[in-house]
């Protein structure tokens, strides 16, 4: 692969990684805070149900119906995906595996543990799209020993595992 194409693909990868890092970071913080504060919020809501407007009450009741462990496990999986993103930034193929496994588990969790109304088809489609884009970019950069590395020869980009 010529240097210009390699540079463009690397820049595309970094742009996608930054976007994913921001989104995963927001999800991680949101799920962690939700998981840690759920008992206090439930206690307050149960003792002061009139303090919350009706339109917010419906959303709050829906959020409170999710078990605390679900939020904490989601936060852990998002943290794992962030670790994978950092590893992919360093062109380590294990980062792709960490990211992909955590995202697939996050997509599967609502199907297994919550009712169908919690399943976000859009989230699943975007998750699969990002996994495919990462695979394509990492493959073209030679991380998987494909076309980017002189017919699969190791040039040092296949990082320590």
Contact between 156 and 145 (Cβ < 8 Å): no
Burial of 49 by CB count in 10 Å (0-12 exposed, 13-18 middle, 19+ buried)? Answer: exposed
The reply to whether the predicted model has a pTM over 0.85 is no
Contacts (Cβ under 8 Å, ≥6 apart) of 124: 107
pLDDT at residue number 153: 38
Rounded CA-CA distance 47/22 in Å is 36
Instruction: Name the DSSP class of 118.
Output: G
Q: Which residues of the chain have pLDDT under 70?
A: 1, 45, 49, 51-60, 146-161
**Alpha-helix residue ranges (DSSP H) falling in the chain:** 3-47, 54-64, 68-89, 93-113, 121-140
Residue 20: CB atoms within 10 A of its CB come to: 20
pLDDT at residue number 52: 66
pLDDT at residue number 38: 86
Contact between 110 and 119 (Cβ < 8 Å): yes
Residue 18: CB atoms within 10 A of its CB come to: 12
Q: Is the dihedral of CA 125, 137, 100, 24 positive or negative?
A: negative
Residue 11, both tokens: 């820049």
């Amino acid at each position: 692969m010529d240097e210009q194409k390699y540079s463009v693909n690397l820049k595309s990868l970094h742009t996608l990684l930054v976007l994913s890092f921001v989104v995963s970071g927001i999800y991680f913080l949101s799920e962690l805070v939700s998981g840690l504060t759920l008992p206090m919020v439930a206690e307050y809501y149960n003792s002061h149900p009139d303090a919350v407007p009706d339109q917010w009450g419906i959303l709050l009741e829906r959020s409170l119906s999710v078990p605390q462990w679900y939020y904490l496990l989601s936060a852990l999986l998002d943290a794992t995906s962030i670790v994978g993103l950092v590893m992919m930034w360093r062109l380590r193929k294990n980062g792709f595996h960490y990211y992909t496994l955590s995202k697939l588990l996050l997509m599967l969790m609502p199907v297994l543990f919550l009712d169908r109304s919690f399943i976000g088809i859009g989230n699943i489609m975007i998750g699969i799209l990002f996994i495919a884009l990462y695979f394509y970019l990492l493959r073209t950069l030679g991380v998987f020993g494909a076309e980017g590395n002189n017919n699969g020869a190791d040039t040092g980009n296949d990082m320590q595992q």
